[in-house]
């Protein structure tokens, strides 16, 4: 499995895919609204519509591939799209210290006996 994408790379890929999708749709609408009656211009417009619709489908496939990549990252790896700011890091460290203190207090009081304790209680 390839390395996990960074959140910046994912955001760039999302923005690029959305831009491509919107641009292709806009090109299709611009071509479809042209009012030419000659056979040559109709043939050119038909070709342009074919090219743009193929590119539109490809842009949609890119978005689907991106969602699959994100699902795989969530399931099999660590997808860090939000990151931790300084407050989150301090909060997490404080919670870890509190958990260690509670664990030590329980162990010191003898409430939980790690090996072969009396299951009937005291």
The residues spanned by each domain of the chain are 1-82, 83-113
Q: How confident is the model at residue 112 (pLDDT cuts 50, 70, 90)?
A: low
Residue 98, token pair as written in the block: 């509190």
Q: How far is C-alpha 90 from the chain's CA centre?
A: 26
For 52-90, write each residue's pLDDT tens digit: 999 999 999 999 999 998 888 778 766 655 566 677 778
> Residue 114 pLDDT more than 80?
no
Average of pLDDT values for 94-109?
A: 86
pTM attached to this predicted model? 0.56
Residue 14, token pair as written in the block: 């999302």
- In the chain, which residue ranges form alpha helices assigned H by DSSP? 7-32, 39-76, 86-109
In whole angstroms, how far apart are CA 45 and each of 39, 41, 59?
10, 6, 21
């Amino acid at each position: 499995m390839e390395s996990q994408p960074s959140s910046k790379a994912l955001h760039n890929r999302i923005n690029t895919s959305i831009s491509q999708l919107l641009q292709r749709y806009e090109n299709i609408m611009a071509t479809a609204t042209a009012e030419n009656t000659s056979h040559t211009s109709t043939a050119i417009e038909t070709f342009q519509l074919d090219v743009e619709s193929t590119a539109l489908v490809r842009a949609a496939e890119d978005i689907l591939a991106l969602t699959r990549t994100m699902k795989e990252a969530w399931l099999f790896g660590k997808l860090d799209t939000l990151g931790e700011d300084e407050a989150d890091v301090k909060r997490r460290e404080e919670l870890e210290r509190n958990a260690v203190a509670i664990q030590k207090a329980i162990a010191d009081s003898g409430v939980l006996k790690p090996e072969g304790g009396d299951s009937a209680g005291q």
